[in-house]
Structure 1
Protein backbone atom coordinates (compact mmCIF):
# COMPACT_ATOMS: atom_id res chain seq x y z
CA UNK A 1 0.00 0.00 0.00
CA UNK A 2 1.29 3.45 -0.87
CA UNK A 3 0.00 6.85 0.15
CA UNK A 4 1.27 10.06 -1.42
CA UNK A 5 -0.03 13.53 -0.79
CA UNK A 6 0.84 17.17 -1.19
CA UNK A 7 0.48 19.39 1.85
CA UNK A 8 -0.94 22.88 1.21
CA UNK A 9 -1.94 25.83 3.34
CA UNK A 10 -5.74 25.92 3.65
CA UNK A 11 -6.18 29.65 3.01
CA UNK A 12 -3.46 30.40 0.46
CA UNK A 13 -3.11 26.98 -1.23
CA UNK A 14 0.68 27.39 -1.08
CA UNK A 15 2.64 24.16 -0.69
CA UNK A 16 4.16 23.53 2.72
CA UNK A 17 7.77 22.36 2.46
CA UNK A 18 9.74 20.61 5.20
CA UNK A 19 6.73 19.92 7.42
CA UNK A 20 6.49 16.75 9.46
CA UNK A 21 3.48 14.48 8.83
CA UNK A 22 2.55 11.73 11.28
CA UNK A 23 0.08 8.93 10.53
CA UNK A 24 -1.14 6.53 13.20
CA UNK A 25 -2.71 3.16 12.44
CA UNK A 26 -5.45 2.98 15.07
CA UNK A 27 -5.70 -0.82 14.80
CA UNK A 28 -2.02 -1.68 15.28
CA UNK A 29 -1.04 1.51 17.16
CA UNK A 30 1.90 1.98 14.75
CA UNK A 31 3.01 5.50 13.91
CA UNK A 32 4.62 6.55 10.64
CA UNK A 33 6.44 9.89 10.34
CA UNK A 34 7.71 11.57 7.18
CA UNK A 35 8.73 15.10 6.19
CA UNK A 36 7.43 16.90 3.10
CA UNK A 37 9.93 17.70 0.37
CA UNK A 38 10.58 21.16 -1.11
CA UNK A 39 7.41 20.87 -3.22
CA UNK A 40 5.22 19.88 -0.25
CA UNK A 41 4.97 16.20 -1.23
CA UNK A 42 5.24 13.27 1.16
CA UNK A 43 4.91 9.51 0.58
CA UNK A 44 4.23 6.65 2.95
CA UNK A 45 4.60 3.03 1.96
CA UNK A 46 3.86 -0.22 3.73
CA UNK A 47 5.59 -3.54 3.06
CA UNK A 48 3.82 -6.04 0.82
CA UNK A 49 3.62 -8.61 3.63
CA UNK A 50 1.78 -6.20 5.93
CA UNK A 51 -0.46 -5.12 3.06
CA UNK A 52 -1.48 -8.74 2.45
CA UNK A 53 -2.27 -9.17 6.13
CA UNK A 54 -4.32 -5.99 6.07
CA UNK A 55 -6.28 -7.16 3.02
CA UNK A 56 -6.88 -10.51 4.74
CA UNK A 57 -8.24 -8.73 7.82
CA UNK A 58 -10.50 -6.61 5.62
CA UNK A 59 -11.85 -9.69 3.85
CA UNK A 60 -12.50 -11.39 7.19
CA UNK A 61 -14.29 -8.31 8.50
CA UNK A 62 -16.43 -8.06 5.35
CA UNK A 63 -17.24 -11.77 5.53
CA UNK A 64 -18.28 -11.46 9.18
CA UNK A 65 -20.45 -8.44 8.37
CA UNK A 66 -22.20 -10.30 5.55
CA UNK A 67 -22.80 -13.35 7.74
CA UNK A 68 -24.29 -11.16 10.45
CA UNK A 69 -26.52 -9.43 7.90
CA UNK A 70 -27.67 -12.79 6.52
CA UNK A 71 -28.42 -14.13 10.02
CA UNK A 72 -30.52 -11.10 10.94
CA UNK A 73 -32.42 -11.38 7.65
CA UNK A 74 -33.15 -15.07 8.34
CA UNK A 75 -34.45 -14.21 11.82
CA UNK A 76 -36.85 -11.64 10.37
CA UNK A 77 -38.21 -14.14 7.86
CA UNK A 78 -39.13 -16.67 10.60
Structure 2
Protein backbone atom coordinates (compact mmCIF):
# COMPACT_ATOMS: atom_id res chain seq x y z
CA UNK A 1 0.00 0.00 0.00
CA UNK A 2 2.99 2.31 0.57
CA UNK A 3 3.89 2.07 -3.14
CA UNK A 4 0.35 3.09 -4.05
CA UNK A 5 0.45 5.98 -1.56
CA UNK A 6 3.77 7.10 -3.06
CA UNK A 7 2.27 6.93 -6.56
CA UNK A 8 -0.72 9.03 -5.46
CA UNK A 9 1.59 11.54 -3.76
CA UNK A 10 3.52 11.81 -7.02
CA UNK A 11 0.32 12.32 -9.03
CA UNK A 12 -0.88 15.03 -6.67
CA UNK A 13 2.40 16.93 -6.54
CA UNK A 14 3.85 16.54 -10.04
CA UNK A 15 0.77 16.27 -12.21
CA UNK A 16 -1.73 18.40 -10.29
CA UNK A 17 0.72 20.87 -8.77
CA UNK A 18 -0.29 20.25 -5.16
CA UNK A 19 2.20 21.84 -2.77
CA UNK A 20 3.96 18.98 -0.91
CA UNK A 21 3.64 21.02 2.31
CA UNK A 22 -0.15 20.56 2.13
CA UNK A 23 0.10 16.75 2.13
CA UNK A 24 -0.71 16.31 5.79
CA UNK A 25 -2.35 13.05 6.96
CA UNK A 26 -5.72 14.66 7.70
CA UNK A 27 -5.74 17.19 4.85
CA UNK A 28 -8.59 16.75 2.40
CA UNK A 29 -8.15 17.10 -1.33
CA UNK A 30 -9.97 20.42 -1.07
CA UNK A 31 -7.53 21.63 1.60
CA UNK A 32 -4.70 20.60 -0.73
CA UNK A 33 -6.13 22.93 -3.37
CA UNK A 34 -7.75 20.31 -5.60
CA UNK A 35 -10.66 21.85 -7.52
CA UNK A 36 -13.20 20.28 -9.89
CA UNK A 37 -10.84 20.44 -12.88
CA UNK A 38 -8.04 18.89 -10.81
CA UNK A 39 -10.39 16.12 -9.69
CA UNK A 40 -11.00 15.17 -13.32
CA UNK A 41 -7.25 15.34 -13.97
CA UNK A 42 -6.71 13.08 -10.95
CA UNK A 43 -9.19 10.56 -12.33
CA UNK A 44 -7.43 10.55 -15.71
CA UNK A 45 -3.96 10.26 -14.14
CA UNK A 46 -5.02 7.32 -11.96
CA UNK A 47 -6.38 5.57 -15.02
CA UNK A 48 -3.30 6.30 -17.12
CA UNK A 49 -0.71 5.44 -14.47
CA UNK A 50 -2.40 2.67 -12.49
CA UNK A 51 -4.93 1.35 -14.98
CA UNK A 52 -7.74 1.99 -12.50
CA UNK A 53 -10.92 3.45 -13.97
CA UNK A 54 -12.60 5.41 -11.21
CA UNK A 55 -15.79 7.31 -11.78
CA UNK A 56 -16.08 10.83 -10.46
CA UNK A 57 -18.72 9.76 -7.94
CA UNK A 58 -16.02 7.64 -6.26
CA UNK A 59 -13.85 10.68 -5.64
CA UNK A 60 -14.64 13.32 -3.05
CA UNK A 61 -13.11 16.66 -2.20
CA UNK A 62 -13.33 15.47 1.40
CA UNK A 63 -11.03 12.48 0.77
CA UNK A 64 -7.61 12.52 2.38
CA UNK A 65 -4.58 11.00 0.68
CA UNK A 66 -5.03 7.92 2.87
CA UNK A 67 -8.72 7.58 1.96
CA UNK A 68 -8.00 8.06 -1.72
CA UNK A 69 -5.25 5.45 -1.59
CA UNK A 70 -7.55 3.02 0.22
CA UNK A 71 -10.32 3.50 -2.37
CA UNK A 72 -7.90 2.74 -5.19
CA UNK A 73 -6.44 -0.27 -3.34
CA UNK A 74 -9.96 -1.61 -2.70
CA UNK A 75 -10.80 -1.18 -6.37
CA UNK A 76 -7.63 -3.04 -7.39
CA UNK A 77 -8.38 -5.83 -4.88
CA UNK A 78 -11.91 -6.22 -6.27
CA UNK A 79 -10.64 -6.47 -9.84
CA UNK A 80 -7.78 -8.92 -9.26
CA UNK A 81 -9.90 -12.11 -9.13
CA UNK A 82 -11.27 -11.23 -12.56
CA UNK A 83 -7.75 -10.93 -13.97
CA UNK A 84 -6.70 -14.46 -13.03
TM-score between both structures, scaled by the size of structure 2: 0.27
TM-score between both structures, scaled by the size of structure 1: 0.29
Which has the greater radius of gyration? 1
Say which structure, 1 or 2, has more relative contact order (CA 8 Å, 6+ apart): 2
